[in-house]
Amino acid sequence: MTALEEIKDYLLKELKAEFSVNEQVNCFKVSKDNYWKAAKYLQEQKFQRMLTISAIDWIEKDLFSVYFIVHKFPENIYVKVETEIPRTEPKITSIHELWPTAGLKERETWEMFQITFEGNDDLRPLFLEEEPEIAPFRKEFDWREFYKASLTEK
């Protein structure tokens, strides 16, 4: 059994993930409760490189997709794990203790989407000096409207 088959086997059977392939990337969609378990499992399987943690704002479905991408040497396997959380309660378990770079990526996602990563104590502004009133990357914040308003202010 190859490394990828083993991972697929575990994630599909144990964590009931949905599987799809996107060119080089193996995508798994898990439930919110299994998100941390999937991360833990992948970390134990020596997926050492954590590429990104980010989110997508599906405002019409009233959901946030939170996902991360990891990579494994030397087999060169990319895995993306995605989960959905309600927009009304944007909270998810933090995976910052599993990879050294995950904490700061969660901090960036928190700043841009106001999604709370439970367990990560370092959620404070990273790029901005003050906490913004409205999360800049959320869909309800229309930058073009904001620009027009700033013109009329002067």
In terms of CB distance, is 13 or 154 closer to another protein? 154
77-86 sheet: strands from edge to edge: 18-22, 25-29, 77-86, 63-72, 49-58
In terms of CB distance, is 9 or 127 closer to another protein? 127
Q: How far is the CB of 143 from another protein (least distance, A)?
A: 5
Q: How far is the CB of 129 from another protein (least distance, A)?
A: 6
Q: How far is the CB of 144 from another protein (least distance, A)?
A: 5
Q: How far, in Å, CA of 17 to CA of 126, rounded?
A: 33
In terms of CB distance, is 34 or 54 closer to another protein? 54
Exposure on the CB side of residue 98, measured as CA atoms within 13 A: 26
User: Which amino acid would we find at residue 43?
Assistant: Q
Q: How far is the CB of 14 from another protein (least distance, A)?
A: 25
Q: How far, in Å, CA of 128 to CA of 124, rounded?
A: 9
Q: How far, in Å, CA of 54 to CA of 107, rounded?
A: 10
| Binding site residues, another protein, CB under 8 A | 22-25, 48-52, 54, 56-57, 69, 73, 76, 78, 80, 99-101, 104-105, 126-129, 136-137, 141, 143-144, 146-147, 150, 154
